[in-house]
Structure 1
Amino acid sequence: MDTKTAASRLALSVLTCSVATLASAQDDAPLDLGTIRIQSANAQAVLGNDEITTEEIEQRSASSIADVFAGESSITASGGAPIAQKVFVNGIEESLLSVTIDGARQNKSAFHHAGNVLIDPALLKSVEVSAGLAPADQGAGALAGSISYTTKDARDLLEPSDPFGGMYTLSYGSNGQGFRNTLTAFGQTGGFEYLLSGTRATGEDYDDGSGATVVGTAADLTDYIAKFAYTTETGKRLSFSASQTTDSGLRASQGGFIRPDFAGVVGRDTVLYAAFSQRKSYTFTYEDEQPTGIFAPYVQLSYNEQAMDVGNLYGVNKSFSGVARNEFDLGNGTLNVGLDFFNESAEGYDNTVSPRASSGREELTNIGIFAQARQDLTDRVSVSYGARYDWASFDGADGSDFDDSGLSVNGSVDLVLNDNWTLNAGAASTWGGYELGEAALVNYGTAWDYSDFTTSRAKALRLGVRYENGPWAAKAALFDTDITDIAAVLPTSGARGALTDLRSRGFDGSISFVGTRGFATLNYTYADVEANDDTVATTAYYLGRPVGHIFGLEAGYDVSEELRLGGTAQIALENDDTSIELPGYEVVSVYAEYKPRQMDNLKVRLDVYNLFDETFAVRSSDGLDSSRVVQLNEPGRTVSLTASIKF
């Protein structure tokens, strides 16, 4: 029996045996499991699976995806306008993680000088990030983990008895930040609910801390969201959501291509180009929120498309995906079993002719089956373990075909040592399948060559401890994520079969205090990121960045019931492992938030970003160690006033 056949039978056996063990759980009464300890926020944090909550997003007054992760250290974002922002987890770029919005898989990699997934946080409810140890039910291709964005529904904004409501948020900021408007209306009646929302942000190019204007950074973003749902009295819920996010501002361009991630290119003139980045998503979901017996089904179908006008070229990513799963009650935990699939494409066009002419297309199809169990074995021992098996087929731009399959397994344990200390450990081996190439550059310059093109695999380990004592909590963990045989997404001379091994290893930890009127959290991460055994470059697109030592601080204090003061800070130590030393920086932002007692539906907030007017480029930005790149500095001191009213 060959390895693939054996692995396939193993995965099928896991699924079959898992379902078979549920015969004793066929009780029609709902079963309240409480909180499985290994799924608790504290246990997951040590395993690298952090949640950015609604409260945290609101505390950070997030107007960009970079703001969402303010105060974090293991999760960083590059800077500039939204079109340019990329997210990194322990120094590994999000294109190597499974990224979903409301459970729907997102395709990415349209153009390397732009972000992967364009998202506006106006209605963002939470973000769950898994660093390295993605469970089997998080989807295929989660080589370095996963990022799951969840947006708000009408019921998140309404009391059960309220039939209608709305929100309006207006902000204005100095230093080019300009105006940002968000209007949202929502309602519910007889089990039916709806939400309609629109955001418009406009501004001017900002100045960095030295007073220099950074061209091509003006805000020009539009975001629309529509969500509808119907829930029966027995908890059967059907929902549909549609969204469109567009960044269409003037962006810095050199030699016919936009580079919104750079301030300039040495030796090339910079001109402004009306660039375009747009994400459209449509998602249909069915789930049973009040399951009885062993059945708690969840079914979802989704389509998303990301298009990008980058100058001489135009790129389009498309994705059609779905999942059907059931979460079974085990008495001491749960077992999630299901099937998922996706069909994705990347297509590039010559943008200098009308109509645009296709220069090439790649297509990737994947079908996977999975099972993930989460259980409290004893009062002191909790476990999570699972497996998935994926079958993938790939069509190259030259007409070549590839087929392969692979097994992924993961396991983690949470062991209570005493009243204060808990030990966590986890490991995963993840089959990554094939990678689509960059959409805009398919066959650009030369026909792409698929010699030695193959699938990737990641191995991840994590070991940590956490401590809790009253208002104090601390965690510390060692991590190691090793990804092999990553095919070139941005190929040199068209060589798609050029392979890279990427490794991120290091330490992250935090210490926090939560009192009756305030909180403070200090995070620290050290990530040594290497590509082919050398420090990763700051232009290693679709791979990672040399983040080194990062500190994140977040604090808030309620002066009274009406007034809260708070702030965030990020500190990066200098990194001399790169070809050009990356300087350190310390950036502090503060805010004051006021909620009048007589108008509890009104909130007024004053923010001062980059309080000390630091001149810096964030550590995860592009091109910092290249002598050919003028780095993109972040805004200098910026004052912003925001008013939000709910009616």
Structure 2
Amino acid sequence: MQLTYRSILLLGTALCAGMASAQEPGPVFLGTLRIDVEAAQNLLGNDEITEEEIEGRNPATMADVFAGESSVTASGGAAIGQKVFVNGIEESLLSVTIDGARQNKSAFHHTGNILLDPALLKSVEVSKGIAPADAGPNALAGGLAYTTRDARDFLEVGDTFGGLTTLRVGSNGQGFRRSLTLFGQQGGFEWLLSGTRQTGDDYADGDNVTVPGTEADLGAYVLKLAHTSDTGKRLSFSASDTKDTGIRAAQAGGGGLLFTRPDFAEVVGRPSTFVEGLSRRQSYTLTYTDENPQGWLAPTLQLSYNEQEIDASGVWGLNTSLSGVAKNEFQLGNGTLTAGLDFFRETAEGEGRGTGPFGSSGEETLTSVGIFAQARQDLSDRLSVSYGGRVDHQEFEGADGSKFDETGLSVNGALDLVLTDTLSLNAGVASSWGGFELGEAALINFGDVWDYTGFRSSRANTARIGLRYESGPWAASGALFHTAIDDIAAVLPEGSPRARGALSDLTSRGFDASLSWTGERLFARLNYTYADVEVDGDPISSTAYYLGRPMGHIFALEAGYDVTPEWRVGGNAQVALDNDDGAVSLPGYEVLNLYASYKPRHVDGLEIRLDIENLFDATYSSRSSDGIGLPNVVALNEPGRTISLTATMRF
């Protein structure tokens, strides 16, 4: 405990030092912090998928958002089953936020973790391994920070009302996607109301074989309200409801019950029955910020609640999260110091719909309070640094009433060193305390009681080092990375009784690189990632739920060309090489997507776009899909060639 108190004292001292250094009245010019520039952060593994890139990808699903990325992959099928992986590590081991609000994970292992429609998505910040202290607790392998658009992102200065409507029709099961967003602002008040609905049929793969249970049936609704005072004080509120339903494949399981498995095409030896599945996420967030701070006070206050519900036929589960943060960005003479505290209280509860041990129910709760500080400074005209730490105290209560509490320290540091006019060195390390993790809500005590013997907290150690080169329109970078997470308690316990305290060690190590050319009318970018993912020293399987997936070598290409001010053409491609190094053999694949966009000069706000996805009609399963190479599973193939037409009108 001496280490804990000393750590809290050090962070408190850093906080006070930041306040003392910022007592000079008025704003302080910081200059340009190289550690914050995009190229430096990319090399550290902190990439941003920008609004322009998202619009260029025209996403209908979250998998589309990450097209063109080699280090971030998403599994396929209907929205209910899509999971996101960063360097082969599942997002449940990352800190995931939407507009700064912490998100809990899914309640069932055959479904995705964060159900999110990309209609209003503005940007995604991806931290691959090294997350700063102010990114939040439990950032074992980094983070995913999603930001959505507000009314002011759509409105021009002086406008008081506007709208955006999108209609998209497509072949091969893509069906009909329609969305309408209305927004306005007046006298400091602003509002936004948005709705999206997508319906379709089961799609066919590249061999023209229908993949059952993949029909689109998504609804997403968002309300945003905000007021910004003349002095920059901003109070905003958002509410969202996203739901994926539809007919999904289910097979018999424990207790003779049916279980929806939207991540599989089939389970060998278990005939499929088709039932209606449900995945639903509801979220409410209240945020206060000062966008025109004076002196040392530049606060952010946030309170959020969200819940994720899964109905998998034979079982039901619900995850909830109540979270908050209070932080301040202090201006120093050569940088900034962000310091504050955060908390969350999360629950996982489930219910079996059978009899006896298969009709059981239970609940786990996890409470966390943390204090953090993160500095970003220029030490000279050639050296910039970022460093920080956080202390978290967590209390966990199991389904059997057993209680655990522990306090842990997390630290991180990174530097950006200019070697020549065109070459820079970037390096970073982090040791992150992961705390405890909630078990799978839908299966708590299902089939047998959960046993917490040996249950403990986890810790991750991460490092990256690399070089970047910039000269004119050319940019290149390459970095080695290593992430090791120890003592991950079983989220999906096995045995009799279910061994919730069974521990696993997960590692992801490898190399990523990027080469790009950016001109006035043309850009092209090639990304490459090799990730070797292991559990307990052995290659990871393709059903290592809540841990990761085997990756191997992945290339991603993205390009766009403005033919004229009205016409733009572009596309992206992903190439996964054969991978025979793991527990199973993973077949390679090559997928090419192309588009053409037309914005007529004489119709303001109109865009018409043609997309051809999987141009060469390849038959393949995404590298991060579940069950690839297993003898008892037929992995879910991705859609074959799909043609869609999108009309977007801003008014």
Confirm or deny that 1:37 pairs with 2:39: no
Cα displacement string for residues 26-78 of structure 1 (whole angstroms, at most 9, x for unaligned residues): 23322343442101111000000000000000000011110000010001111
Distance 1:5 1:109, change over 3 A: farther
Cα displacement string for residues 225-270 of structure 1 (whole angstroms, at most 9, x for unaligned residues): 0000000000000000000100011111111001100000000101
2:594 partner SS: strand
Confirm or deny that 1:536 pairs with 2:533: no
Equivalents in 2 of 1:62, 1:419: separation in Å? 38
- Contact 2:359/2:446, CA 8 A, preserved across alignment: no
Unmatched segments (≥5 aa) in structure 2? 253-257
User: 1:376 Cα deviation (Å)?
Assistant: 1.0
Q: Give 1:306's aligned residue.
A: 308
Confirm or deny that 1:628 pairs with 2:625: no
Pairs within 5 Å for 1:91-490: 91-255=88-252, 256-351=258-353, 359-490=361-492
- Contact 1:8/1:407, CA 8 A, preserved across alignment: no
Which segment is superposed worse, 175-184 or 343-352? 343-352
TM-score computed with the length of structure 1 as normaliser: 0.98
Cα displacement string for residues 401-434 of structure 1 (whole angstroms, at most 9, x for unaligned residues): 0011100000000000111000000000000000
- Contact 1:347/1:358, CA 8 A, preserved across alignment: no
User: 1:352 Cα deviation (Å)?
Assistant: 5.3
1:170 partner SS: strand
Give the aligned residue type for 1:517.
R
2:64 partner SS: helix
User: 1:377 Cα deviation (Å)?
Assistant: 1.0
1:492 partner SS: coil
TM-score computed with the length of structure 2 as normaliser: 0.97
- Contact 2:197/2:218, CA 8 A, preserved across alignment: yes
Pairs within 5 Å for 1:490-569: 490-493=492-495, 494-569=498-573
2:13 partner SS: helix
- Contact 1:528/1:547, CA 8 A, preserved across alignment: yes
User: 1:357 Cα deviation (Å)?
Assistant: 7.3
**Percent identical:** 64
Give the aligned residue type for 2:455.
F
- Contact 2:542/2:628, CA 8 A, preserved across alignment: yes
Equivalents in 2 of 1:118, 1:483: separation in Å? 25
2:596 partner SS: strand
Equivalents in 2 of 1:233, 1:348: separation in Å? 48
User: 1:15 Cα deviation (Å)?
Assistant: 2.5
- Contact 2:352/2:443, CA 8 A, preserved across alignment: no
Equivalents in 1 of 2:103, 2:571: separation in Å? 32
Distance 1:21 1:218, change over 3 A: closer
1:538 partner SS: coil
Give the aligned residue type for 1:208.
D
Distance 1:640 1:19, change over 3 A: same
Cα displacement string for residues 287-308 of structure 1 (whole angstroms, at most 9, x for unaligned residues): 1010010110100000000001
Distance 1:358 1:300, change over 3 A: farther
Give the aligned residue type for 1:170.
L
- Contact 2:378/2:384, CA 8 A, preserved across alignment: yes
Equivalents in 1 of 2:29, 2:164: separation in Å? 35
- Contact 2:360/2:446, CA 8 A, preserved across alignment: no
Give the aligned residue type for 1:539.
T
Give the aligned residue type for 1:541.
Y
- Contact 1:27/1:292, CA 8 A, preserved across alignment: no
Equivalents in 2 of 1:341, 1:171: separation in Å? 41
- Contact 1:169/1:643, CA 8 A, preserved across alignment: yes
User: 1:358 Cα deviation (Å)?
Assistant: 6.3
Cα displacement string for residues 515-535 of structure 1 (whole angstroms, at most 9, x for unaligned residues): 111100000000000000000
1:634 partner SS: coil
2:134 partner SS: helix
Cα displacement string for residues 542-594 of structure 1 (whole angstroms, at most 9, x for unaligned residues): 00111000000000001101000100000000111233311000000000000
User: 1:160 Cα deviation (Å)?
Assistant: 1.9
Give the aligned residue type for 2:108.
F
Give the aligned residue type for 2:133.
A
- Contact 2:289/2:299, CA 8 A, preserved across alignment: yes
RMSD, aligned CA: 1.1
1:362 partner SS: strand
1:263 partner SS: strand
Equivalents in 2 of 1:498, 1:352: separation in Å? 26
- Contact 2:18/2:331, CA 8 A, preserved across alignment: no
User: 1:465 Cα deviation (Å)?
Assistant: 0.7
Equivalents in 2 of 1:480, 1:113: separation in Å? 28
Equivalents in 2 of 1:5, 1:313: separation in Å? 45
- Contact 1:202/1:220, CA 8 A, preserved across alignment: yes
Equivalents in 1 of 2:20, 2:583: separation in Å? 61
Equivalents in 1 of 2:21, 2:347: separation in Å? 44
Cα displacement string for residues 181-204 of structure 1 (whole angstroms, at most 9, x for unaligned residues): 010000000000000000000000
- Contact 2:580/2:586, CA 8 A, preserved across alignment: yes
User: 1:9 Cα deviation (Å)?
Assistant: 1.8
Equivalents in 1 of 2:65, 2:266: separation in Å? 27
1:440 partner SS: helix
Equivalents in 2 of 1:278, 1:207: separation in Å? 26
Equivalents in 2 of 1:638, 1:331: separation in Å? 55
Q: Give 2:577's aligned residue.
A: 573
User: 1:351 Cα deviation (Å)?
Assistant: 3.5
Confirm or deny that 1:54 pairs with 2:56: no
Q: 2:17 aligns with which of 12, 15, 20?
A: 20
- Contact 2:418/2:425, CA 8 A, preserved across alignment: yes
- Contact 2:18/2:337, CA 8 A, preserved across alignment: no
Equivalents in 2 of 1:504, 1:579: separation in Å? 15
Q: Give 2:255's aligned residue.
A: none
User: 1:600 Cα deviation (Å)?
Assistant: 3.1
User: 1:8 Cα deviation (Å)?
Assistant: 2.9
- Contact 1:370/1:388, CA 8 A, preserved across alignment: yes
- Contact 1:176/1:206, CA 8 A, preserved across alignment: yes
Q: How many residues align?
A: 642
